[in-house]
Amino acid sequence: MQEFGDSGAEAPSTEREERGDSPLNYGACRLLDVAYAQVIGGTVVTMEQPARAGTKVKIPDVCEAIGVPRITTYEMLRNLGVRLRF
In tens, the pLDDT along 25-35 reads 566 778 889 99
Query: Angle formed by the axes of helices 23-40 and 59-66, to 10°?
Result: 30
DSSP state of 19: T
Asked if 60 and 70 count as a contact pair (C-beta separation under 8 A), the reply is yes
What's the half-sphere exposure (Cβ side, CA atoms, 13 Å) at 84?
Answer: 4
pLDDT of residue 10: 41
1-21 pLDDT, tens digit each: 333 344 444 444 455 455 555
Question: The whole model's pTM is what?
Answer: 0.64
